[in-house]
Amino acid sequence: MKKRMKKWLGCAAAAIMVIAMGATGFARDFDTDQNLSFFGGSGTANVGVHSTGQALGNTVSFDKVILVEDGGTEAVDEPYVKWKYTIRPVKDDGTVDTINAGLAPDVAATYKKGTTTISDGTNTILVEPGQAAQITGGTEKTAEFKADTYNIPTAVITAPDVQTFTKTVSFSFDTTQFTKPGVYRFVITESDPEGANKTDVEDIGGKGDNGAGETDVPYQRERFLDVYVRSKDNAGVITYEIYGYVMHSGDTDKDHNATGNKWAQHKNSGFDGGKQKGNGKLTPQGYTRYIPRKVKIKKKISGLVPTDTLFPFTIQLLHGATQTVAGNDNKDMQIKVKYPGFTATAPNTYEIMTIDQFNAAVRNLKHDEEVEIIGLPKSTTVVVKEQNKNFVGAVKSDLTGYKSVDLIDANKDTTITVPTKVLKPDATSTDPDSFSAEVTRQLTANDLGLLYHNHVDEITPTGVVLTVVPYAMMIFVSISMAFMFLTKRKEE
């Protein structure tokens, strides 16, 4: 009995030593290289942390980034848009779990329990399936961008810098549910965008290297999340803690992780692709962009109309299902505006106002004056008309449309066709014949420029007629009398 007991205790002790050595070895190996992704080789981790031995507690986080493209030097307001993110464990039944399936070209990545491994460059271990019990604090989180809570930066944006909007998403874990050190895998899925400006943001595919060279790859909404767990001895009590985590879409090569966003295979990344696109650091899973639009309305006066005559303009910026000022779902979005009488206050070169404030005002323009607007979502509908309120007579109104705000001939938009209209004078603004034809244009494809030309064509001065007619009559009478006199002489 004693021999049997000693034998059992010896086996147990040996087993404990093996487990302890395995746990210590794992922690030591991965402490020195947590296999985290660095963004652009900057030394700053794209997700997680990279400091040796640093504990993260029970939370992992990543960023959702929207990149502003073609915004120029002026910052714009944040769009109303949000994404939902869900987390789940990978399959633990031995079947293949696939993310980003069905895209072209094929960028699918797989996990299979007991088969999928990961290496720190020295040691290779199996990747464990995460468990639902390890996730706490909810399996769905939201990254919500809101114009009414964002302060537009006043500083000028200088290339290669670009404006970005960023929200952080965090998931929490119950570290008491981890029973051994290792790398635990989960799947995070991004939803389609929601919100008033969901059609104003675009998911853009990235670049990848499939071994045959660089190629375009589609935008990817799924990521693997690898959570790195190590053991910790507290006075003989073994606990577990998270010390690193990586979001990726199949590529866990150590060399790739060390240098960050090389365009190789499926690089490690959160949903912050394009954050440093201006510096050539585009993540292969793609990125989300937002392209703001500009509008310019300019006045030209010629002919008999005095150039200081003011013509009132009604300019409406509409967004949403109702396409009305009252039903505008972008009322609180801020835009930048230049208009006659505005005095810039440094460092601003435009006045910042909400779309609702802009829609409430009438803009009066005389010759060579203009209204310029920056920072409109591309699904905005612009409605414009002018009125002859201050000229004493009827005046012609011609319109030329442009695809840009530079108003040059090369950028004329021949699809904007508004017939010339003679505007009757009306100081009360009640006669519909005093208004021009209404222009309605959505900014989906490009910016918008409108050049309004008011004129009354020159007529022959009446003084010339009064002067010429008497002389003409005198000549006619003289010729007639001479003819009659000569005819009479001939008859005699």
User: Residue 173 maps to which CATH number?
Assistant: 2.60.40.3050
Where is 355: in which H helix or E strand? helix 355-359
Residue 382: beta bridge partners?
Answer: 317, 441
Query: Quick check: is 163 in a domain?
Result: yes
pLDDT value of position 50: 37
Are 316 and 266 in the same domain?
Answer: no
91-95, 123-127, 231-235, 460-464: least confident range:
460-464
Find all residues with CB under 8 Å of 448, minimum gap 6, and list them: 293, 294, 295, 296, 382, 401, 402, 403, 405, 441
* Those residues with Cβ within 8 angstroms of residue 2's Cβ, 6 or more apart along the chain or in another chain: none
pLDDT for 362 beyond 70: yes
5 belongs to a structural domain: no
This prediction's pTM: 0.80
Q: Taking a C-beta distance cutoff of 8 angstroms, is the pair 34, 219 a contact?
A: no
CB 260, CB 306: distance < 8 Å: no
Residues 188 and 228 in one domain: yes
Residues 71 and 179 in one domain: yes
Instruction: Say if residue 67 is in the same domain as residue 190.
Output: yes
Which of the listed ranges 22-26, 38-42, 380-384 does the model predict with the highest average pLDDT? 380-384
- Residue 490 covered by a domain: yes
Residues 191 and 238 grouped into a single domain:
yes
Q: What is the tally of structural domains in the chain?
A: 3
User: Is-contact 262 281, C-beta < 8 A?
Assistant: no
Q: Which of 290, 315, 340 is the last residue of a domain?
A: 290
Residue 99: inside a domain:
yes
> Does the pLDDT of residue 195 top 60, yes or no?
yes
Q: Are residue 178 and residue 237 in the same domain, yes or no? A: yes
Nearest alpha-carbon partner for 355 in 334, 378, 370:
334
In this predicted structure, what is the pLDDT of residue 234?
A: 86
Would residue 296 be called left, alpha or beta, if left means φ above 0 and alpha means ψ between -120 and 50 degrees?
A: beta
Q: How many CA atoms lie within 13 A of 337 on its CB side?
A: 21
Residue 36 domain flag: yes
Which phi-psi region, left, alpha or beta, contains residue 449 (left: φ > 0; alpha: ψ -120 to 50)? beta
Q: Write out pLDDT tens, residues 423-482.
A: 999 999 999 999 999 999 999 999 999 999 999 987 666 655 444 455 555 565 566 666
Single residue among 269, 290, 311 that ends a domain in this structure: 290
Position 474 in a domain: yes
- The helix/strand/coil state of 188 is strand
Residue 91 CB-density burial (10 A; 0-12 exposed, 13-18 middle, 19+ buried) = middle
| CA–CA distance, 320 with 358 (Å, rounded to integer) | 17
Domain co-membership, 102 together with 247 = yes
CB 288, CB 67: distance < 8 Å? yes
Residues 199 and 316 in one domain: no
90 and 60: one domain?
A: yes
Assess whether 286 and 374 both reside in one domain: no
* β-pair type (448-456, 293-303): parallel
Instruction: State which of 290, 325, 352 marks the end of a domain.
Output: 290
Angle, CA 356 vertex, CA 289 and CA 156 arms, to 5°: 45
Check which CATH number belongs to the domain holding 356 and give it.
2.60.40.1140
pLDDT tens, residue by residue, 300-325? 999 999 999 999 999 999 999 999 99
Query: Could you list the residue range(s) of the whole structural domain that residue 359 is in?
Result: 293-456
Spatial distance between the Cα atoms of 376 and 319, rounded to a whole number of angstroms: 10
What's 32's DSSP letter? Answer: H
Say yes or no: 281 and 321 in one domain: no
The CB density around residue 447, as the number of other CB atoms within 10 Å, is 23
Q: What is the dihedral of CA 279, 285, 290, 291, to 10 degrees?
A: 70
Three-state DSSP at 36 gives coil
Q: What is the mean pLDDT of residues 71-94?
A: 97
User: What are phi and psi for residue 290, nearest 5 degrees?
Assistant: -135, 120
Q: Are residues 435 and 492 in the same domain?
A: no
pLDDT for position 380? 98
Mean of the per-residue pLDDT values of the chain: 81
8 Å CB contact between 442 and 381: yes
